[in-house]
Structure 1
Amino acid sequence: MARASQLLLLRVLVVLGLALGSVVLAAAPAAIAAPGPGSPLPSADPFYSYSGPLENIAPGTVLRSRPMTFRTPTLDSPITGTQVLYRTTDQAGDGAVTVATVLRPLTPGPTRLVSYHMAYDALGSKCDPSYTLSGGYANSLNTAEQGVIAGYLAAGYTVVAPDYEGEDLEWTIGRQSGYAALDGVRAAQSFLRVPDSTPVGLVGYSGGSVPTQWGAEVAPRYAPELNIVGTAAGGLPVDLAHNLPYIDGSDEWAGVIPALVVAYQRTYDLDVDSFLSTRGKQTAQQVSDECITEFAGNYPGLTSADMVKPPYSGLLDVPEVVRAVNDNIMGTAGTPRSPLFLAVGHSDAIGDTIMVTGDVVGLANEYCTRGVDVTYAQYDGRTHGQAFPVFEAQALPYLTERFNGVPTRSNCATIPRGNSLAPMAVP
């Protein structure tokens, strides 16, 4: 599918989703003092900051809230919601805070909560879902996902969309993203005054698959009280040690390489001066406050070798980088209790142009061996972008069946072994 056709399809999703949401929620009251176009960035907005102690505050506790309106910078909507600042946990296990957007339909009936994880893939706070969902900033990706969220609202679901990368925009960091997603659910349940037994679905594509899959993995230990009935994750970056060589020198995705360096430096305090080349430092600085739609394709042909200086020949020659990557291999934090829908495109011999198909197959197979109920879907001939609308079209009915108690159609018996997800040897 040509890029123009992809964008047209995404615009159709947006229009349909927002139209459906408006029909269902036309009676929603106007927001009071809601953030929106012209509001300060989250990094400059006092609402997002919390300076008090967190040690004795339970994860998921709501620290403050304010109303918002669900809109784009150019499109008003009658849908209103609430932003909640809540306590969560970072990758090191320490207390942290982040924000989630809670959107509830007016259709009567018991609460069914969907934690929708946007693929905001960000290094700058303008990309935060709480900011984009209130009309502060838009690009083609978040606008498309906003349409998908409107579709969930139109179907009668309550939606919580967390800023799961946290205050420092730590992109692709696994456990931390999962904790933020689960604590966003806890915060939403508390704010809405619904019980822990409220059924919950987790869903996300691409970058949004990170909090989805890790949330499902860590939930049995971190948030065992949550009633997660189903999880749908598509386009998963299972092991970045495999993704990095795949996109090396790519025209479409090479900008991801310096962006990952920035994210990992923020999380693991990497000594980047010890291994980055002059060009590596320059590109890392250039992407340090951008969204993926800005940086992914802006460095065609950039390689991992370009990013480093001697004696290194690539980022995976750097011991501290390898340790950080190994800390974020999916499937290593626990075993999900909820049924899983895992999906990925497959457009060439390796994957969907950025995600490695064999890795997703390997993850699905690994879960199956542990007794997890997995349904795997592979979209042959589709790139990463082309697989997005197909995944979303299957994720909603998959979760709807889980909420309704319909038996699953696991295909574990036919999922091949896939790639090994063993950690890379540290140089």
Structure 2
Amino acid sequence: MTLDGRARGLRILALVVLVIGSLTFALGPTATAAPGPGSPLPSADPFYSYSGSLSGVARGAVLRSRPMTFQTPTLRTPITGSQVLYRTTDQSGAGRATVATVLRPLVPGPTKLISYHMAYDALGSQCDPSYTLSGGYTNATATAEQAIIAGYLAAGYTVVVPDYEGERLEWTIGRQSAYAALDGVRAAQNFLRLPRSTPVGLLGYSGGSIPTEWGAELAPKYAPELNIVGVAAGGLPVDLAHNLPYINGSPDWAGVIPALIVAYQRAYRLSTDTFVSARGTQAMNQVSALCISQFASKFPGLTSAQMVKAPYTGLLDVPQVVRAINDNIMGSQGTPRAPLFLAVGHYNAIGDTLMITGDVIGLAHQYCGRGVDVTYAQYDGLKHQQAFAAFEPQAFQYLTERFAGLPTRSNCATIPRGNSLAPTPIP
């Protein structure tokens, strides 16, 4: 989720800056493209809304498009791309529209497509990747991931970046995020007129691991025609029934608690007035239009117990909440066909201060038992933010090898059982 700007190990980003700088000098200025700094928020931009019927419209069909320039609020690059509004599917199976950013590499070559899933962890539309990548807004997380994306472009990859939370900013919702990611790949292929045989990689850390893992899990049934050659997911929230007690009262992550309830309220239409306390309502209102970098550490010491009112003693006492959590347990809806790289930090006995190490191990072990080719990496001594720096270079190497058709180095034989991922009993 939020990435530590002081984290070491991202020397590759310095190289990316040098590459981009040299290319800027070589190519000169580019024409101004909309949108950009000063553009309206996606929530106020008609491009993001689609009022027509989606009945009969193919998943991944491009509904409209416009050019964009890959930039920050203060730095332009010679990289141009397109934003595409496309048809996808929500958690309940209904048709929805969302936006993806499609970026071509500066040096043409055989098309290798990366679906990069930013950890935008948003409840407000200013956090949408399509908005940040075009210079409308930024934060430390977006800046770091934008540099990673530039590295893939410099390495010759075509990159599609979906706004996978959708128009209503429904954060952590598994199937919906996967559908948006997979349909974003379809939309990019449609827009660029690429064959379905084009090799595809899925990549994301923390919040971005949700569409990545779920995309791998659901692709065999939802998008079997896609040629997904590799998947790299790090810092995964496998079962939020385990994460909630871990961050309960945390000085750094307690703001996630009200944000999750806002997301579930949007996606599952929870009747929050039946269980949320006055303090909980206040916290939900405060986070309801923010990015995680703005709310994660803003409620130090906030507990699950403070979020609810009698007769409940915590959010896991609430049947509605438990049902929503159980609906989003990774590994519960399908089995990936593509090889997986799964990674997580391990700072203390439980996890990386946000994610549960044993849950990621349990997911890897479960998939190995189903015959999936899994490579698991654990970053001992690293917190969640720090593990991002360790994950990204390994993910780059892993995906590069998958696109090259090299053998994997699966360590399924040595992955322990890990935690149980059985659904939490409904109270």
Name the TM-score, length of structure 1 as normaliser.
0.97
CA 1:336–1:5: 2 relative to 1, 3 Å: closer
Give the match for residue 16 of structure 1: 15
How far is 1:14 from its partner? 4.7
Matches for 1:191-230 after TM superposition, within 5 Å: 191-230=191-230
Q: d(CA) in 1 for partners of 2:184 and 2:331? A: 22
Q: Is residue 91 of structure 1 aligned with residue 91 of structure 2?
A: yes
Give the match for residue 337 of structure 1: 337
Do the aligned partners of 2:9 and 2:390 also contact (CA within 8 Å) in 1? Answer: no
Q: d(CA) in 2 for partners of 1:373 and 1:5? A: 31
For structure 1, which segment, 285-294 or 102-111, has the greater mean C-alpha deviation from structure 2 after superposition?
102-111
Deviations 1:303-355 (CA, angstroms, capped at 9, x unpaired): 00000000000001000100000000000111100000000000001000000
Deviations 1:96-122 (CA, angstroms, capped at 9, x unpaired): 010000110131321000000000000
CA RMSD of aligned residues (A): 1.6
How far is 1:7 from its partner? 2.5
Identity of aligned residues (%): 73
Give the match for residue 143 of structure 2: 143
- Counterpart of 1:360, as a letter, is V
For structure 1, which segment, 18-27 or 210-219, has the greater mean C-alpha deviation from structure 2 after superposition?
18-27
Q: d(CA) in 2 for partners of 1:6 and 1:88? A: 34
- Counterpart of 1:216, as a letter, is A
Give the match for residue 41 of structure 1: 41
Q: d(CA) in 2 for partners of 1:219 and 1:163? A: 18
Give the match for residue 7 of structure 1: 6
Listed as ranges, the gaps of 5+ residues in structure 2 are none
Do the aligned partners of 2:312 and 2:318 also contact (CA within 8 Å) in 1? Answer: yes
Give the match for residue 258 of structure 1: 258
- Partner of 2:82, secondary structure, is strand
Give the match for residue 360 of structure 2: 360
- Counterpart of 1:327, as a letter, is D
Matches for 1:389-408 after TM superposition, within 5 Å: 389-408=389-408
CA 1:224–1:5: 2 relative to 1, 3 Å: closer
Do the aligned partners of 1:28 and 1:80 also contact (CA within 8 Å) in 2? Answer: no
Give the match for residue 349 of structure 2: 349
- Partner of 2:110, secondary structure, is coil
Do the aligned partners of 1:14 and 1:143 also contact (CA within 8 Å) in 2? Answer: no
For structure 1, which segment, 220-229 or 21-30, has the greater mean C-alpha deviation from structure 2 after superposition?
21-30
Matches for 1:20-419 after TM superposition, within 5 Å: 20-23=19-22, 26-27=26-27, 30-419=30-419
CA 1:22–1:389: 2 relative to 1, 3 Å: same
Q: d(CA) in 2 for partners of 1:313 and 1:370? A: 38
Do the aligned partners of 1:31 and 1:80 also contact (CA within 8 Å) in 2? Answer: no
Do the aligned partners of 1:24 and 1:107 also contact (CA within 8 Å) in 2? Answer: no
Do the aligned partners of 1:341 and 1:395 also contact (CA within 8 Å) in 2? Answer: yes
- Counterpart of 1:260, as a letter, is L
Do the aligned partners of 2:247 and 2:353 also contact (CA within 8 Å) in 1? Answer: yes
Listed as ranges, the gaps of 5+ residues in structure 1 are none
Q: d(CA) in 2 for partners of 1:28 and 1:238? A: 45
- Counterpart of 1:389, as a letter, is A
Runs of 4+ residues over 2 Å off in structure 1: 3-33
Deviations 1:21-59 (CA, angstroms, capped at 9, x unpaired): 454575387245421110000000000000000011000
CA 1:129–1:31: 2 relative to 1, 3 Å: farther
Deviations 1:117-175 (CA, angstroms, capped at 9, x unpaired): 00000000000000000010010011000000000001100000000000000000000
